[in-house]
Amino acid sequence: MSIRRRVVHMETKTQPLQERSRQTFDAILRAAGQLLAEVGFERFSTNLVCKRADLTPPALYRYFPNKYALLRELAQRLMEAQDEAVYAWIESGGLEGQTIDEVAARNRVILGRVIEVTASFPGGVWILRAMRAVPMMRDVRLASSATVADRVFASLKLRYRSADPERLRRAAWLTTELSNAVIEMVLEQPAHDPEEILAEACRMMAAYYMDFH
């Protein structure tokens, strides 16, 4: 007896081209983010989104087949916003610095910026939770981490020309993943002192990079 697995479509059906369609598309995503922050992942539904956005279900389903496709679109937009903040930081010399204190201070800037981006994004914390909880959404986070790590690696190669490239690649991956974990810790566990967590994590990464000088 074979068991048929349910296939859940995660992709947005169509991207809006006309201005009115883009407004509807963005209104759906705004409502979805607001509701996610208010009711959490388990109670989140397309029906609630329709009510909040004042749309009929067919209008929503024109773009999103289910709530998972909505969440995936939100996740991709959040990751793009986070990544753009990191890229701008790298371009402005964020990975530079000669001392542990200087490097740690620069790291603190970008961690703080990504935390601000996530906290201000509608439903940002719940989107992070959804990416951890829903296996079909984990690739969004993984893809973001991969592109950021690649960008960090490219910058490190220019800075530490005599270092082993494979070790630099590992360093880029490790610090990217550590940064993600620290950001989520600060957002998920506000009872702990965020400044102390950030200070310790940034100094840890700074000391690690000093080994490449």
E strand or H helix that includes residue 97: none
> Per CATH, which fold does 19-210 belong to?
Tetracycline Repressor; domain 2 (1.10.357)
Instruction: Give the separation between CA 211 and CA 202, rounded to whole angstroms.
Output: 15
The ranges assigned to domains in the chain are 19-210
Whether the CB-CB separation of 153 and 212 falls below 8 Å is answered with no
Task: Evaluate if residue 131 carries a pLDDT over 70.
Answer: yes
Task: Evaluate if residue 198 carries a pLDDT over 90.
Answer: yes
What is the residue-averaged pLDDT of the chain? 89
Q: Tokens for 70? A: 């909505």
pTM listed for this prediction: 0.88
pLDDT at 12: 62
pLDDT in tens, 3-27: 344 444 555 656 655 677 888 899 9
Instruction: Give the separation between CA 113 and CA 88, rounded to whole angstroms.
Output: 11
